[in-house]
Amino acid sequence: STQGGAIANEKVWENSPVLPETEEPYKRLHLAHIFLMTTLGIPSIYQGDEFGMPGANDPDNRRMMIFDNDLDKFQKTTLEKFRILGKFRAEHPVLRHGTRKTISVSNETFVYSMNDGNETVIVSFNRSNEPATIEIPCQSCRKTMTELFTKKEFSLKENSIKITVEAQSGAVLY
């Protein structure tokens, strides 16, 4: 088998992953980053995961680190979004100490809130290939919520917020 075990370890250098040529894998990684950085617990990030460094089983899990101008455009974008998430997590204790409540789940979308009594953060995911418009009920939301990455503002109307989450994307409202 080349999926695991000794044979895979021997062949890892023969079929080593290369950089993806499309944005799609980086979008999926960004969704994972959003979840990791907006839920309880200490985030565990392996070197290179913050921007999407390729790799495989040992020994291909120890590639030399790359920086700055050696990153491709997708990696630079992924890293910038990760930096935004890291700073946001540091500035909002609700993400570290709040209570997570699932608001809605479908085959393609997932929405939850993080609340600590002082602040509410709404996190939504859309893994489909089409934009998804989601009505998010929220009793504890501020009257105007801002999306972390776009800085677009959303108004609370009748205790809910309506948001369109782009295809293969996520939104963080605070």
- pLDDT average, residue stretch 48-65: 87
Tokens (6 digits) for 46: 């392996």
Query: Does residue 132 come out as left (phi exceeding 0), alpha (psi in the -120 to 50 range) or beta?
Result: beta
Which of the four pLDDT bands, split at 50, 70 and 90, describes residue 64? confident
Give me the pLDDT at residue 9, please. Answer: 58
Give me the pLDDT at residue 63, please. Answer: 85
Tokens (6 digits) for 153: 């503002």
Give me the pLDDT at residue 10, please. Answer: 64
Which of the four pLDDT bands, split at 50, 70 and 90, describes residue 57? confident
- pLDDT average, residue stretch 4-23: 72
User: Is the pLDDT higher at 63 or at 163?
Assistant: 163
- Asked if residue 32 lies in contact with residue 92, where contact means CB atoms within 8 angstroms, the answer is no
Distance (Å, rounded) from C-alpha 126 to C-alpha 132?
7
Give me the pLDDT at residue 133, please. Answer: 97
pLDDT above 90: residue 170: yes
What digits encode the pLDDT tens for the residues 103-159? 999 999 999 999 999 999 999 999 999 999 999 999 999 999 999 999 999 999 999
- pLDDT average, residue stretch 89-97: 97
Task: Rounding to the nearest 10 degrees, give the CA dihedral for residues 39, 150, 120, 109.
Answer: -60
- pLDDT average, residue stretch 61-82: 93
pTM across the whole model:
0.88
Give me the pLDDT at residue 13, please. Answer: 64
Q: Encode 67-96: b = buried (16+ Cβ within 10 Å), e = exposed.
A: eeeebeebbebbbebbeebeebbeebebbb
Give me the pLDDT at residue 1, please. Answer: 44
* Amino acid sitting at position 145: M
Tokens (6 digits) for 172: 């963080």
- Share in percent of the chain as helix, strand, coil (round to 5): 25, 25, 45
- pLDDT average, residue stretch 35-50: 94
Give me the pLDDT at residue 59, please. Answer: 80
